[in-house]
Amino acid sequence: MKKTTSTPQWVLLCGWILFIQPVIAQVNSLSTRVFDKKSVQPNTVIVDVRTPAEWRAGHITGARLHNVLETDSFNAQIANWDKSATYLLYCRSGKRSQRALELMQTAGFNQVYDLAGGFLAWEESKKEVPNKIIKPLHRLVIQVTSGDTLVWKGLMNNLKHLQAGWGDSAQILVVAHGPGIDLLRKEQTTQQNQIANFNKLGIQFLACENTMAERKITKESIVKESGFVKMGIGEIVRLQEAGWSYIKAGF
């Protein structure tokens, strides 16, 4: 009797596990309507897990860009995020956002959801609500190569005026390399709060990995709001070739 009852109990347990897993995935995937409602609730963060190229073509109002395909960078960034907040993830169609959701759940986040159907579904549902989708009218890349704190302060002042004048109609990237990398180092920057505030508004900060490698700087020592790019100067050139305006921070 003991042998005949133990096997069904094990099978039943496995059956419950296999049954529960897809239900959890469905609960964590939200329709565009529910996603929209949750997005305006307090302590809620919208995260775009697509690539910079996809982001530039259009994104959900108020979203932050964190490319999940750069897994090491993504994991390093979420390690510093507030686990008490609610996170709403989306990608192009839903596959990558599920991957990001799994990474965040593994890291200990409980309030994390993704958008069923991704940005494609969002665009389709918001054709009559254009203010829910940002299509940038201005695209600007700012190069930071100086370790001078006065230059950093001037940069933040420029960002303040750009944000006030253009708001969400501008896509702004700040690329730091060479001595300018210190702007994004936790122990060196004098602009941590400003960087955090501008990042929440959608302004992106990128640290050059080549500079980091030369100076033996780890990703963990970079402020959590920063992303990473392999070659800072190369990214600046690429963006200019793609039609972005260019400014070098300094006096």
For residue 118, count CB atoms less than 10 angstroms from its CB and return exposed for 0-12, middle for 13-18, buried for 19 or more: buried
Query: Which residue in 89, 91, 100, 249 is the catalytic one?
Result: 91
Under 8 Å between Cβ of 119 and 60 = yes
Alpha-carbon separation of residue 95 from 5, 98, 99, 103, 180 (angstroms):
41, 5, 7, 13, 36
Tokens of 188: 């060196």
- Quick one: angle between helices 118-125 and 32-39, nearest 10? 90
Q: What sections of the chain are H helices per DSSP?
A: 2-28, 32-39, 52-57, 71-78, 95-106, 118-125, 149-166, 192-200, 209-214, 232-241
- Taking alpha carbons only, the member of 171, 164, 165, 94 closest to residue 134 is 171
- Taking alpha carbons only, the member of 216, 154, 140, 214 closest to residue 183 is 154
Concerning whether 14 is annotated as a catalytic residue, the answer is no
Active-site positions read: 91
